[in-house]
Amino acid sequence: MRPLSHGPEEPCVHNALLAWVRFSRGLARAATWVTYAFCLPAAFAGTMARVFVYGTLKKGQPNYKHMINTAKGLAKFQGRGRTVEKYPLVIAGKYNIPYMLNIPGTGHHVAGEIYTVDEQMLQFLDEFEGCPEMYQRTLMSIEVVEWEGKGGAGEGRAAAEGVVECFVYSTTTYPPEWVGLPYHDSYDSSGKHGLSYVLRESRD
């Protein structure tokens, strides 16, 4: 976790006041600093990491092209799943972007896809998702619904039968009014909600 810096001569009272202001702005925003460490690609040097995607990076969605672009790294589809805990999945902002708000116990069990990715792809995803400012990458428990993974026999069998831990890009840095938006259990840019995602190259 990156330490919060203060001037060397700041009085304790001032430190306490700063702490209270930060607290009053929401514990969720403070969690951004906690999750910052998970956005360092070196943490998984030489290994594959599991990532759960629920929005525009899924198959058939506007940004899936990035998941199959080997110039950005390696991503292998493993299966489909849903979050063990409920979360609010909202479509928000000027460009109709899907966001999973990191508020466990609220909303729905969010559906998505499970991939294993290499370090290069993980670094690309961190940059693409604006981690840690826009989204934060944290580990979540994902219930496997359909498994196609071809890992080791024991690992594949265990995954196919239960729950796996995956990195998920959710957010704690959102406007308070987003909590009042409609919650979705699955995202489709062309869904009945009528909020089509605006590609980055089409934004003003």
In angstroms, the CA 178 to CA 103 distance is 12
Pairing of strands 163-170, 49-53: parallel
Helix (H) or strand (E) holding 3: none
Please identify which of the residues 129, 146, 165, 201 carries the catalytic annotation: 129
Query: Does 127 participate in catalysis according to the annotation?
Result: no
Amino acid at 203: R
What value, to the nearest 5°, has the Cα angle with vertex 163 and ends 131 and 30?
30
What value, to the nearest 5°, has the Cα angle with vertex 156 and ends 57 and 76?
30
In angstroms, the CA 171 to CA 117 distance is 21
**Residue (of 154, 188, 64, 40) closest to 115 by Cα position:** 64
CB 89 within 8 Å of CB 98: yes
Catalytic residues: 129
